[in-house]
Structure 1
Amino acid sequence: MGGPPLLTIRRAQRRFGRRVIFTDLDLDVPVGARLFLGGNNGSGKTTLLRCLSGTLTLSAGQATVGGHPVGSLPARRLTAVCLAPEQGLYEQLSARENVTLVARLRLPRRAVRAAVARVEAELDLAGYATVPVQRCSAGMRARVSIARALVAEPALLLLDEPGRSLDEPSRLLLWQALDRRPELTCVIASHLADDRDRCRSALTLPSRR
């Protein structure tokens, strides 16, 4: 993959006790790349994404986002995470309030309203924007989670099985939103052939026993 790397991984390893999840990963992911992360269930895709997000530490090696160690404050500011697309929302808040909360934390106040309106339109949230997410279907919740990840225009987006709860029209909305952001670097763990076809590069993690 050509171009300057946004995400760099060097000799990365993660183990739980004696069980090695992945080891000796070396990778440069350029700005604007779409990297498909494949592998069987249990191969470590979610674990790797968690390590890149900073919610789990590497057992060995290192990874950086924009030159900053993953998990550091500068790296977190560049990174948006959607590891369980239909989970992790504030149940009592509406779809719009969930998205607005992230926007207020990460954007200047004057930019919040326009940013929220943009992702609402992109992911077709208007029909249930004011509905508490506890009353939303799994597919609706997934779209809210993706909107929340995109609202602050991150440099790196980590997606774990984004199509798990999305129907075909909703998956199209997701990819159209990504295509509008050519500078956004994405790492997408998925089992869907369509997701792989939309990515220019792929990394398949081997299964380990």
Structure 2
Amino acid sequence: MSTPPVTDRADHPAIRVRGLEKSFKDLKVLRGVDVDVARGSIFALLGSNGAGKTTLVRILSTLLKADGGRAEVNGFDVASRGAEVRESISLTGQFAAVDEILTGRENLTMVARLRHLKDAGAIADRLLRRFSLTEAGARRVATYSGGMRRRLDIAMSLVGDPPVVFLDEPTTGLDPEARLEVWSAVKELAAAGTTVLLTTQYLDEAEHLADRIAILHEGRILVHGTLDELKRLLPPAKVEYVEKQPTLEDVFLSLVGTAANGEKR
């Protein structure tokens, strides 16, 4: 199955949302959301639990119908051209959807075959290399660490090379080392040209990963922009000389090494 071509010009946003609304009975979850996501970028949707992040992702991935407004993904209207949208995207939920009985390679091969792709084994091997899982590829996923499972989950979402990937709170429940591994994988996605919409409630995650950030609160986008643009919304801090002390991240990385340079479990 091949990814459908983009129907609009190359500079058209990968994701465009205008006036999106959604209610569940008397509860208004989305109240007129507007947002654009540029192609090949990482866009972080930041908000607390219940802000409407997952509801927005479910609408964009055609799992849920909006009550009002309009949304396009890869140039296709999510309401009228759902099949093309689904061929253009991959969705990774809050918990890794991997088969623990199978090996890592078997998980990837299974997804490739379900997508009716040729050379499923070669696709699996390429993704194992890309996510530094080659040595673990022949092991059952039940033996994987949390970070390895999440990397495999993201690798499975890339079978078929979808141009748009939704990551719904991908580091929920992970330890610090596993979070860094996932962050590295997300950065590699965007570097390869994939558009990533990331939902998170972790401020440091949005700060480290996103090209642009939107803050969603009670179903509305309060602000959006680059990290520097959002910081300029507050008055500048008073500058005083303070001796810099190592941060907890500095201590952690000095002891265990980064996921990129150290040997992964």
* Short-chain TM bin: 0.7 to 0.9
Q: Residues 199 and 13 from structure 1, CA distance in 2 versus in 1: closer, same or farther, beyond 3 angstroms?
A: same
State the alpha-carbon separation in 2 of the partners of residues 173 and 201 from structure 1: 17
State the alpha-carbon separation in 2 of the partners of residues 180 and 106 from structure 1: 24
Output the amino acid matched with 1:76: R
Which is bigger in relative contact order (C-alpha 8 A, separation at least 6)? 1
Shift of 1:172: 4.5
Q: How do 1:132-143 residues align onto structure 2 when only pairs under 5 Å count?
A: 132-143=140-151
Provide Cα deviations, 1:76-125, integer angstroms capped at 9, x if missing partner: 01001101242x22333222111122222336303x33332222112222
Q: Residues 169 and 198 from structure 1, CA distance in 2 versus in 1: closer, same or farther, beyond 3 angstroms?
A: closer
Q: Residues 13 and 194 from structure 1, CA distance in 2 versus in 1: closer, same or farther, beyond 3 angstroms?
A: same
Provide Cα deviations, 1:60-83, integer angstroms capped at 9, x if missing partner: 222121232327111101001101
Greater shift in the superposed pair: 49-58 or 125-134: 125-134
Normalised TM-score (structure 1): 0.86
Secondary structure of the equivalent of 2:109? helix
Aligned equivalent of 2:125, options 112, 117, 125: 117
State the alpha-carbon separation in 2 of the partners of residues 155 and 38 from structure 1: 22
Q: How many residues align?
A: 204
Shift of 1:205: 0.7
Shift of 1:20: 1.0
State the alpha-carbon separation in 2 of the partners of residues 185 and 171 from structure 1: 16
Shift of 1:153: 1.3
> For the pair shown, which has the larger CA radius of gyration, 1 or 2?
2
Greater shift in the superposed pair: 195-204 or 184-193: 195-204
Answering whether residue 99 of structure 2 is matched by residue 99 of structure 1, we say no
Aligned match of 2:27: 19
Is the CA contact 1:95–1:144 (under 8 Å) kept in the aligned structure 2? Answer: yes
**Gap runs ≥5 in structure 1:** none
Aligned match of 1:204: 215
Q: How do 1:59-70 residues align onto structure 2 when only pairs under 5 Å count?
A: 59-70=67-78
Secondary structure of the equivalent of 1:128? coil
Q: Residues 35 and 102 from structure 1, CA distance in 2 versus in 1: closer, same or farther, beyond 3 angstroms?
A: same
Q: Residues 192 and 98 from structure 1, CA distance in 2 versus in 1: closer, same or farther, beyond 3 angstroms?
A: farther
Q: How do 1:56-205 residues align onto structure 2 when only pairs under 5 Å count?
A: 56-70=64-78, 72-86=82-96, 88-106=97-115, 108-110=117-119, 112-164=120-172, 165=174, 167-182=178-193, 184-190=194-200, 191-205=202-216
Q: Give the percent of matched residue pairs that are identical in Structure 1 and Structure 2.
A: 29
Secondary structure of the equivalent of 1:9? strand
State the alpha-carbon separation in 1 of the partners of residues 184 and 116 from structure 2: 23
Shift of 1:130: 2.4
Is the CA contact 2:183–2:209 (under 8 Å) kept in the aligned structure 1? Answer: no
Shift of 1:38: 0.2
Secondary structure of the equivalent of 2:36? strand
